[in-house]
Amino acid sequence: MSAIFITATGTDVGKTFLAASLIRHFRQIGRAVHAIKPVVSGFDPAQIEASDPGVLLSALGLPVTMEEVERISPWRFRAPLSPDTAAAREGRRIDVDQVIACCKSAVAQHRGILLIEGIGGIMVPLDARRTVLDVLTALRLPLILVTGSYLGTISHTLTAIDALLRRDMDLLATIVSETPGSTVPLEDVVSSIANFAEPVIGLPRGRPGTAPNLDDLFSSQRALDMMNLG
């Protein structure tokens, strides 16, 4: 496969963490990889290294500069809000057709594996009519769905999976990224979701601020093989 879209059940569940780990893994095994995150909210130009585009650029081994950020994330908004609201705060709007075209152009231009990281969850609105799910439907790319291990995530995750399957999307895997401080054990969340979907893979987060490579996180090659990414 040449491109994978990484989406989620909501915000702050680990999409960028997973994308950066995948990038490092592919680079370590000598595979060509690139990544984009077309739409970003909560972006502070004064702290680009800590931003989602900055994390992706660092994993790619590229300079973390505004020029590079502009290249992989053309739509950037300061307010940490849903993209439609964040854009409106700046007197702007997101042209969803242009976002779709940007993704298609990236797929056509980059050799090897292209990771496209979405914004927020699959139903986050991009404008008054369309959501991230509409972008996914237009692109028809294989997907990885990322969710957390917090209390309530099982319902959120199964709802997202149902929405994706109703659109006949190609869901490679559901990744349960461990929520720091969650009262629910990661393995219990994985086990419950796995009753309704497969494959479901638990992603331990480790110590705060650490981001070990994908093989360390998944403990074995089995997880990659389950997603046909080995």
d(CA 123, CA 70): 25
Q: Which residue out of 25, 34, 37, 205 is catalytically annotated?
A: 37
104: annotated active-site residue: no
The rounded distance, in Å, linking the Cα atoms of 44 and 194 is 38
200: which DSSP letter?
A: E
Of 34, 77, 37, 33, whose CA–CA distance to 54 is shortest? 37
What is the C-alpha to C-alpha distance for residues 36 and 34, in angstroms, rounded to an integer?
7
List all residues 6 or more positions away from 31 whose beta carbon is below 8 Å from its beta carbon: 112, 113
Cβ atoms 76, 43 nearer than 8 A: yes
**Among residues 3, 214, 1, 221, which one has the least CA distance to residue 106?**
3
Query: What is the gyration radius of the CA atoms in the chain, in angstroms?
Result: 17
Cite the active site residues. 37
